[in-house]
Amino acid sequence: MTGKLRTGKLGRLLLARRGGASWHWTDVASYAYLALGVLLMFGPVLWLALSSFKTPAALLEFPPSLLPMAQSEVSVQGYPQPLPLFRVTMEDGSVRELAQVRRVGIVAQMVDPAAPGQTIRVPADRRTPVRHMALAVENYTDPLTQFDFLRFLRNSLVVTVVATIITLIINSMAAYALSVYEFRGKSVAMLGVIGTLMIPITIILAPVYLVVTKLGFVDSLWAVILPGAATPTGVFLLRQYMLTIPRDLIEAARMDKASEWRIYARIVMPLSMPALAVLAIFSVMWRWNEFLWPLAVLTKTEVHTLPIALNAFQGELQTQWHYLLAMTVVTLLPVALVFAFLQRFITSGIANTGMK
CATH for 93 = 2.30.30
**Strand pairing category for 73-74 and 69-71:** unpaired
Give me the sign of the Cα torsion angle 158, 159, 161, 166: positive
Is residue 152 assigned to a domain? yes
DSSP letter string, 118-176:
EEEEEEGGGEEE-EEE---THHHHHHHHTS-HHHHHHHHHHHHHHHHHHHHHHHHHHHH
Same domain, 184 and 200: yes
Same domain, 210 and 342: yes
Q: What's phi and psi for 280, nearest 5 deg? A: -65, -40
Same domain, 47 and 150: no
Is residue 31 assigned to a domain? yes
Is residue 220 assigned to a domain? yes
Task: Tell which of 68, 87, 102 closes a domain.
Answer: 68
Strand partners, 100: 110
pLDDT of 162 strictly over 90? yes
Whole-angstrom distance, CA of residue 69 vs CA of residue 86? 14
Is residue 2 assigned to a domain? no
3-state secondary structure of 248: helix
Each residue of 212-245: pLDDT tens digit? 899 888 888 999 998 888 888 888 888 888 888 8
Q: What is the DSSP letter of 314?
A: B
Same domain, 193 and 331: yes
pLDDT, residue 316, reads 58
Residue 27: exposure state from Cβ atoms within 10 A (0-12, 13-18, ≥19): middle
Please say whether the beta carbons of 77 and 116 come within 8 A. yes
For the chain, give the longest Cα–Cα distance: 99
Each residue of 54-103: pLDDT tens digit? 888 788 877 788 888 888 888 888 888 888 888 888 888 888 888 888 88
CB atoms near residue 242 (< 10 Å): 23
Domains of the chain: total: 3
- Average pLDDT of the residues in 136-140: 85
Same domain, 159 and 263: yes
Is residue 257 assigned to a domain? yes
Same domain, 257 and 286: yes
H/E element, 178: helix 149-180
CATH for 196 = 1.10.3720.10
Same domain, 45 and 86: no
Q: What is the DSSP letter of 24?
A: P
Same domain, 175 and 86: no
pLDDT of 148 strictly over 80? no
Is residue 265 assigned to a domain? yes
Same domain, 197 and 252: yes
Better-scored residue on pLDDT, 347 or 197: 197
Is residue 106 assigned to a domain? yes
Please say whether the beta carbons of 156 and 306 come within 8 A. yes
Whole-angstrom distance, CA of residue 70 vs CA of residue 57? 9
pTM equals: 0.72
pLDDT, residue 159, reads 92
pLDDT, residue 12, reads 64
Residues of the chain above pLDDT 70, percent: 89
Strand partners, 87: 97, 128
Task: Tell which of 82, 100, 129 closes a domain.
Answer: 129
Residues of the chain above pLDDT 90, percent: 5
Average pLDDT of the chain is: 82
Same domain, 323 and 189: yes
3-state secondary structure of 104: strand
Each residue of 285-339: pLDDT tens digit? 888 888 888 888 888 888 888 888 887 777 656 777 888 888 888 888 888 887 7
pLDDT of 185 strictly over 80? yes
Is residue 33 assigned to a domain? yes
Same domain, 100 and 115: yes
Better-scored residue on pLDDT, 351 or 245: 245
Whole-angstrom distance, CA of residue 223 vs CA of residue 227? 7
Whole-angstrom distance, CA of residue 222 vs CA of residue 42? 35
pLDDT, residue 355, reads 45
Same domain, 310 and 162: yes
Residue 40 lies in domain = 23-68
Task: Tell which of 129, 161, 176 closes a domain.
Answer: 129
Q: What is the DSSP letter of 23?
A: P
Q: What's phi and psi for 11, nearest 5 deg? A: -65, -45
pLDDT, residue 232, reads 87
| pLDDT grade for 16, boundaries at 50, 70 and 90 | low
| pLDDT grade for 356, boundaries at 50, 70 and 90 | very low
